[in-house]
Structure 1
Amino acid sequence: MVGYGAGITGVGSFLPKKVMTNSDLEKIVDTSNEWIIERTGIKERRIAEDDMATSDLSAIAAQRAMENAGIVPEDIDLILVATITPDHLFPSTACMVQKHIGAINAAAFDINAGCTGFIYALTTAKAFIKSGIYRKILVIGSEALSKIVNWKDRNTCVLFGDGAGACIVEPCEEGFGMIAEELGSDGRKGDVLIVPAGGTRKPTSLETVEEGLNFIEMDGREVFKFAVRIMGKSSKSVLKKANLKTEDIDLLIPHQANIRIIDSALKKLNLSKEKVFVNLDKYGNMSAASIPVALDEALKVKKLKKGDNLLLVAFGAGLTWGSIVLKWNKED
């Protein structure tokens, strides 16, 4: 609809209390603190309790986002949960969140786009807002990746962590909020980052469990090459759509996967480190949760003010990618 934008009016996040450091990992797998930091930039990550599922993480982040936006659960029209670690194959994690928070008036569904999931979900929320179908949408990126990590695989177990970030998307002043988006995918390379078993292609069985096929598998070299190329390319493309230049960006929040990938994106964009927010060292790769958690932390340390240009960019399993430019609409 002409006359208003779609912007973020509330943000919240939740991180489990349990911290797993690189030194802790040294005790269970053949790796070292120095190697992990040098290759990834990660120093520690959070691990959910055994009885805590993705919807539990999500619900706490959602409550904090609603409080920040000044709304109650009954106000929510739609719940979108971006995750690759759902509570169940079905029902959706979004429906579980609806139950947990008491959002009795909301429709609910999940989005699976790997680490790009939050970008996909935000773009979906904007479409619903602009169409006039919904006015208050809860968007969550949430993951319990520790539950699908093979703790014997040193190439993957050092990378991932658990957490959740949420935001409220509502109509906002025209010219503010989300002003340009780009989504993309290349399913031909889906097998380079995958959980091979557990779906209809290869249902869970004694054999798949014994072979470790229900855990994350990744071709690190291929994912790295893809990420280095696509982060800069997608960022430049969405900036062009927004009629902005790199120097117009006040803050970049990239997917927090690997510090070398982030540094490469900065180099391609010719952007100073002062304009990027990084919390990778504390939390590792939280997939769809990484950007909303970083956004919440950036706001808490006053990295954004109304009118600032914010760039979000991510890549993930699929393979997928996406980027969004927002003119920040929320007052301090």
Structure 2
Amino acid sequence: MVYIKSCKGLYKNEKTKMPASDLVLEPVKEVIKGMDALDIDGIICATITKDYVYPSASCMLGGKINAKNAFCYDIESDFTGFISALRLAYSFIESKRYKNVLAVSSESFYICDDKDRFNDASVAALITSEKSNIQIDFIDSTTDGSALENCYIPMGGAVKPYTREGIINKEHFIYIKDNKIFEEEAKKSALYVKETLSKNNIEIDYYIPSYFNKESFDNFANNLSVDKNKIYSKMENSNSSLSATSGVAFSMALEDGSIKNNSKVVLCGFGSGYTKALAVFSVS
């Protein structure tokens, strides 16, 4: 069995300009409180806003908490980032070679225009073989690899290296082609969740999607044909935090009592690429 021993999120109502590895320090210190950092076997960080091109943000984080025995690497997966980090951490624990792996996500939005609706956020979860009240039952993810031009950062990679003209035109910032993609996101995400849960005979009591506006939550509920009371929507007036969004919502739902004891919860996301992911937990 694989468990989440502790999960802590941090949402900022601003763009702090803090490095991603600094932004997630507070949640990480909270989830490993009372634990020797040398007992951390691995750190997996989901982010598209890492401190440097290299070394990884997870490596920077490991150094800051003295996790000298941990393997460290970053992953990029947009809104599904935190769930993807959970999936990898789950696999490491399930292999029985490792006992404690940190799955974290941290986004610091220096890579977007100040007028864009993004706010800094981070989340950390300690994934362990030690029994806890949050058991990870099932994780799934998939990618179809189409329509990447709808939401991406045009400049800064091998296809289009940095240029003075590109920076003037803000091509090093996040580009979103059309807000209608969020409507499509809600439809595809709901269909994916419905089909995956049905295929695996999983009944859900509570849904936590990685959304940040009322319209997306409403569309998700309608497309899934479930009562909106079964969907955590307290972030519907927030700005996006990309990969940290779902994890922060999960942490908030645990803290404010929205997730009841003896319930089955699904955390789900849909991101650029397109990527889709969900994680199912039993909370006792």
What TM-score bracket applies, with the shorter chain setting the length?
Answer: over 0.9
Are residues 311 and 289 of structure 1, via their aligned partners in 2, closer, same or farther at CA, if it must alter by over 3 Å?
A: same
Matching residue within 78, 100, 103 for 2:42: 78
Are residues 290 and 180 of structure 1, via their aligned partners in 2, closer, same or farther at CA, if it must alter by over 3 Å?
A: same
Q: Aligned residue for 1:189? A: 147
Instruction: Give the deviation of 1:195 after TM superposition.
Output: 0.5
Greater displacement, 314-323 / 218-227: 218-227
Q: Aligned residue for 2:15? A: 47
Structure 1 distance, partners of 2:70, 2:96, is 15
Q: Aligned residue for 1:198? A: 156
Q: Aligned residue for 2:111? A: 148
Q: Aligned residue for 1:288? A: 243
Taking the TM superposition and a 5 Å limit, the aligned residue runs for 1:1-332 are 5-16=1-12, 45-48=13-16, 50=17, 52-67=18-33, 70-145=34-109, 147-151=110-114, 157=116, 159-171=117-129, 177-221=135-179, 223-245=181-203, 249-281=204-236, 283-328=238-283
Number of matched pairs = 284
Q: Aligned residue for 1:31? A: none
Greater displacement, 262-271 / 273-282: 273-282
Structure 2 distance, partners of 1:79, 1:265, is 32
Specify the SS of the correspondent of 1:100. helix
Give the gaps of 5 or more residues in structure 1. Answer: 17-44
Which amino acid in the other structure matches residue 105 of structure 1? N
Instruction: Give the deviation of 1:316 after TM superposition.
Output: 1.1
Are residues 103 and 174 of structure 1, via their aligned partners in 2, closer, same or farther at CA, if it must alter by over 3 Å?
A: closer
Which amino acid in the other structure matches residue 91 of structure 1? P
Instruction: Give the deviation of 1:73 after TM superposition.
Output: 1.8
> What TM-score results when the alignment is normalised by the length of structure 1?
0.80
Residue by residue over 1:275-312, the C-alpha shift from the partner in whole angstroms, topping out at 9 and shown as x without a partner, is 22223245311111111111111111122244310111
Structure 2 distance, partners of 1:184, 1:132, is 25
Checking the alignment, whether the CA contact within 8 Å between 1:234 and 1:313 is kept in structure 2 is no
Structure 1 distance, partners of 2:237, 2:40, is 31
Checking the alignment, whether the CA contact within 8 Å between 1:83 and 1:111 is kept in structure 2 is yes
Are residues 57 and 241 of structure 1, via their aligned partners in 2, closer, same or farther at CA, if it must alter by over 3 Å?
A: farther
Which amino acid in the other structure matches residue 123 of structure 2? G
Are residues 176 and 144 of structure 1, via their aligned partners in 2, closer, same or farther at CA, if it must alter by over 3 Å?
A: closer
Give the gaps of 5 or more residues in structure 2. Answer: none
Structure 2 distance, partners of 1:211, 1:75, is 47
Structure 2 distance, partners of 1:317, 1:300, is 29
Specify the SS of the correspondent of 1:110. strand
Checking the alignment, whether the CA contact within 8 Å between 2:214 and 2:237 is kept in structure 1 is no
Structure 1 distance, partners of 2:237, 2:122, is 14
Which amino acid in the other structure matches residue 228 of structure 2? K
Instruction: Give the deviation of 1:132 after TM superposition.
Output: 1.5
Structure 1 distance, partners of 2:124, 2:3, is 13
Structure 2 distance, partners of 1:175, 1:282, is 30
Q: What is the Cα-based RMSD across aligned positions, in Å?
A: 2.1
Structure 2 distance, partners of 1:174, 1:206, is 52
Which of 1 and 2 has greater Rg? 1
Residue by residue over 1:144-182, the C-alpha shift from the partner in whole angstroms, topping out at 9 and shown as x without a partner, is 12x111235xxxx1x211110111111255997222222
Instruction: Give the deviation of 1:125 after TM superposition.
Output: 1.0
Name the one with the larger helix percent: 1
Checking the alignment, whether the CA contact within 8 Å between 2:213 and 2:238 is kept in structure 1 is no
Are residues 136 and 305 of structure 1, via their aligned partners in 2, closer, same or farther at CA, if it must alter by over 3 Å?
A: farther
Structure 2 distance, partners of 1:138, 1:65, is 9
